[in-house]
Amino acid sequence: MRLLRIGRMRQLPLKPRVAITLGDPSGIGPEIARRAAADSRVVDACEPVLYAPPPHLTFAPGVLSAEAGRSAYDTIVRAVEDAQRGVVDAIATAPINKEAFQCAGFPWRGHTDLLAHLTGAPHVAMMFYSDALRVVLATVHVALADVPRALTRASLEATITLTARELPRFGVAAPRIAVAGLNPHAGEHGLFGREEETVIAPAVRLCRDGGVDVSGPYPGDTVFVRACRGEFDVVVACYHDQGLIPVKLMAFGQAVNVTLGLPIVRTSVDHGTAFDIAGKGVANPESMIAAVLLAAKLARSRRSA
């Protein structure tokens, strides 16, 4: 922990330094990042440090471009390098545009796989955290038709194990994990699909045998209701929209995207670049503020661990 010496007075811990990346410079990221950095709640909790493109570069609001994608990438790389060197204690990222990344020739589909690449993390997972509901995604940016192939027993076991290991950082000492089924009614004993029997249930059993408090698969149309009522601490969803629809219904603008499994702290917003309102000064910064506050909290938790 870094300390501030004031003569013979007691030593006071410095606030954590949180890097705030501006995301795609043609989206709402620059606006919400700057507003978050100036917010009194953020300033009270941490020392925000903005990571922006060089000032000589200009980008038109709402315009997709390879240049904007490349600039967003460069900013993320600088923030990650500084986090790895201890220059900053955590990173909170404004949204990037996946199509701009593709235009720039990058193979990554979003922050999650890029951050895993930059840090050498062997297995990461995307969690959306809110007071109302916590959801971890077993697959992320995968076409719906490809989800059954991407959802393997080994990958699901790794995600469940990672979730159990990481949740104590968020104040959940012994997390109760529920796993959603892939098919309607969790397959109805094979009537609507067999992934529950061949992939999900075996992964749940293996993790439970290893001491993890995990159960399922449960039907996706009821498991999130049960979690919101307090029966579970977190739900592992099989695919992107299965998990994000309930989170955004319950806590849009307050949920925070957290990458589990990284050697650094990284949080982000629960929304995209919103090109349609970029540059108009109307973007809501609350999710960005929530992301920075959670990053500061996790950074403080790491210091005291």
The model's pLDDT over 184-243, given as tens digits with 9 standing for 90+, comes to 998 888 888 899 999 999 999 999 999 999 999 999 999 999 999 999 999 999 999 999
Is residue 128 included in any domain, yes or no? no
| Mean pLDDT in residue range 42-64 | 96
Banded model confidence at residue 4, pLDDT cuts 50, 70, 90: very low
Q: Name the domain count of the chain.
A: 2
Domain containing 106 equals 1-121+262-305
In terms of domains, do 207 and 181 share one?
A: yes
Q: Are residues 164 and 195 in the same domain?
A: yes
| One domain for residues 145 and 110 | no
Query: Is the pLDDT score of 118 beyond 60?
Result: yes
**Could you tell me if residue 256 is inside a domain?**
no
Q: What is the DSSP string of 235-304?
A: EEESSHHHHHHHHHHHHTTT-EEEEET-SS-EEE-SS---GGGTTTT----HHHHHHHHHHHHHHHHHHH
Q: Are residues 228 and 289 in the same domain?
A: no
What does the pLDDT average to over 159-182?
96
Position 63 in a domain: yes
Q: Is residue 130 part of a domain?
A: no
Regarding whether 246 and 148 lie in a shared domain, the answer is: yes
Mean pLDDT for all residues in the chain: 94
Residues 3 and 113 in one domain: yes
Q: How confident is the model at residue 13, as a pLDDT? A: 59
What pLDDT does residue 233 have?
Answer: 98
197 with 243, same domain: the answer is yes
Burial class of residue 177, CB neighbours in 10 A (0-12, 13-18, 19+)? buried
Q: Which residues have a Cβ under 8 Å from the Cβ of 65 and sit 6 or more positions away?
A: 26, 59, 100, 103
CATH number of the CATH domain containing 204: 3.40.718.10
Residue 255 lies in a domain: no
Q: Assess whether 193 and 116 both reside in one domain.
A: no
